[in-house]
Amino acid sequence: MHPIRPLVGLLAAATLAPLALAQPGADICANAPLITPGLYSGTTVGSTPDGNSGCGAADGAPDVWYKIVAPSARLLVVDTCTAANYDSVLALHSGCAGGVVRACNDDSCGLQSRVEYSAAAGETIYIRVSGFAGGVGTYTMSVAFQDPPPPPTNGPDVSVFQVLDIDYYATVNGINAYAVGTDSCNVGDAPVSWYSGTPFHPVIAQNMFRLKAGRFEQIGMSWLKHGFASTNSPGCGTCVQPPDGGAQLGIACTDAYGAGLNGSQGLLGPRSDVNAATGVFPWPFTSPSYSGDIARRLQVRQTDVNPANNAGAVYFVDTHYVTQDDAQWNNGLNNLSYRRLATPPATGVPNFAGSTQRFLPGIHAWRDTDSSVTLANADYIESYTINSQPRDITCRFIVGSKVTSNQDGTYTYEYAVHNINSHRSGGSFSVPVAPGLNVTNIGFHDVDYHSGEPYDNTDWTVVRTADALLWSSPQTHAQNPNSNALRWSTLYNFRFTVNAAPQQGDVSIGLFRPGTPAAVTASVDIPLPGCDPDVNQDGNVDQDDVAYLTNVIGGGANPTGIDPDFNRDGNADQDDIAALIDTVGGGGCP
């Protein structure tokens, strides 16, 4: 969205705030100053990288460090919400090099961060202040201890602690087959069910994505690995052995399944069995006959990974755990983590090119790699009755958007929509487009189901309505429950070119399965209805645009090729200059 520069000066109001201590953080973790609760001002400008965070693309970013000791069992709360002039990232660590990341946050209050951690009495916690994608700047950091919530409050909460490894199996008819290894962690405060031979254990989805020429697409998916036993290993905190041993994942315990296990075909079941919102699936799981080396595994078209066809492409995998108790405690939104791959070979085992980005689904890799991308959540509540008890579960789609000026008065709009856990699924996607705008290069991309999943892979259709572009599943749920819908742990793409600059507005995702609400929205960049005030195409909206249009209407050169009829009344004259002046001054489009 273009910054609007007012034509007149604005008065800024100042407010008083508590005095911050000028206590600089240490550039090296080992030299971190010991602090007490309070406000601390500092800067990361000129600092060097000295650690990782596990979120916010902040691994390897310039950072500074503090440390604090909990006087008793307290909840440590650290934030930069008070003030920071850049996109900050906060992480809490158990120590310096090799220390466990206790908590991490990128954006909690706007572009600023807030982290919480329940510390034990006498525990030393290291605070890392860094920036999104290497950003640096000044900050004011608030540090406080609060009374911890009485346990259990968070319930069982499984997530992917590490994306471990990846295997390649074979290429059959132009399809490569892979499997991705996972190490899970229970970040909750109650054991997670891991009961083999019952429907009360996790299932694990594996996905692959490609970022190419600014476009982020899902290019492969697997069936679901069914978990069978937990090792309750240390690695993500002080592991508390659960009462039922390997039939549960204990608090702060990990359990690793290497790629070899996650690619074991007999343990892979279809996604269509699972309601990701509730974690419910039938037992025994559906297991049709299969044959060959690629069945059920993470399948990717060879042309989508062959370096000869994909110069400059970047690849990622994410993995996703779903289990009933986690989902029904409403803890299902942090169950994914992603990791970057080196460019895969046409055949063979790829290498990793980065660390695991914890608690983040694959779509976050788009923004973490390209700072011009924006992400927005589209949430709604699904209400269920489970064991005679009401359950309200938050379901989420994440919408990513990227707008590129083509330097000719047109803009290319790219959208990616990632369904995290909505059982009702996406059945349509709508972007407002005003009448009279010229729309070209309309596109759609999805990822194919395989190995006997019942879902149709027919592409969505697109129509231009009176005021929008509308993509839709080929059939409604009433017509065909297995029509192509945007189902959980899946990402679809939508794109077009139009002669209109971006502004903030709502896109709409229509839900496939019937119910309330019928649709959810997300606020991202959409085409400005009817005009582009940045007539000189320099990225700013200001008096230079007025001068440019005045010159064009007076017979001067028009290198950007804009239509001088800004108010669209059929004439290019002083009325268009007046309309542009009003728009630049903060008025709407004519």
Q: At 570, which amino acid appears?
A: G
Encode 131-155: b = buried (16+ Cβ within 10 Å), e = exposed. bbbebbeebbbbbebeebeeeeebb
- In this prediction, residues 178-182 reach a mean pLDDT of 98
> Residue 332, SS3?
helix
- Is the per-residue pLDDT at 4 higher than 50? no
Q: How confident is the model at residue 100 (pLDDT cuts 50, 70, 90)?
A: confident
Selection from 547, 440, 455 nearest residue 496 by Cα: 440
CATH number for the region 29-146 comes to 2.60.120.380
Statement: residue 344 has pLDDT above 50:
yes
Cβ atoms of 218 and 489 within 8 Å: the answer is no
Tell me what pLDDT residue 8 has: 37
130-176 residue pLDDT tens: 999 889 999 999 898 888 766 557 899 999 999 999 999 999 999 99
Q: Is the pLDDT of residue 532 over 90?
A: no
Residue 517, preceding bond cis, omega within 30 degrees? yes
Terminal-residue alpha carbon distance, the chain: 18
- The proportion of the chain whose per-residue pLDDT surpasses 90, expressed as a percent, equals 72
pLDDT at site 15: 34
Sorted by where each begins, the domain ranges of the chain are 29-146, 151-367, 543-584
**Cβ contact 439:425 at 8 Å:** no
Mean pLDDT of 313-334: 96
Q: In this predicted model, what pLDDT tens digit does every residue of 465-511 receive, in sequence order?
A: 989 999 999 999 999 999 999 999 999 999 999 999 898 999 999 99
pLDDT at 488 (0 to 100): 98
Lowest pLDDT segment from 476-485, 527-536, 537-546, 568-577: 527-536
What's the pLDDT at 129?
94
pLDDT for residue 13: 33
Q: Which residues pair with 472 in a beta bridge?
A: 428, 461
- Residue 137 has a pLDDT of 93
CA 223 to CA 242: how far, in whole Å?
29
Mean pLDDT for the stretch of residues 414-438: 95
In whole angstroms, give the CA distance from residue 491 to residue 416.
Answer: 7
* Residue 515 reports pLDDT greater than 80: yes
> What is the model's pLDDT at position 3?
43
Tell me the pLDDT band of 55, cut-offs 50, 70 and 90.
confident
Tell me how many degrees the CA angle 450-353-295 measures, rounded to the nearest 5: 15
In whole angstroms, what is the distance from residue 184 CA to residue 336 CA? 10
Mean pLDDT, the chain, integer? 91
Using CA atoms, how far apart are residues 345 and 306, in angstroms rounded to an integer?
6
**Predicted confidence band at 329 (pLDDT cuts at 50, 70, 90)?**
very high
Evaluated on CA atoms 195, 196, 198, 201, the torsion sign reads positive
Residues 6+ apart with CB under 8 A from 265: 290, 295, 296, 297
Residue range 93-111: average pLDDT?
A: 82
- Given a cut of 60, whether residue 312 has pLDDT beyond it is yes
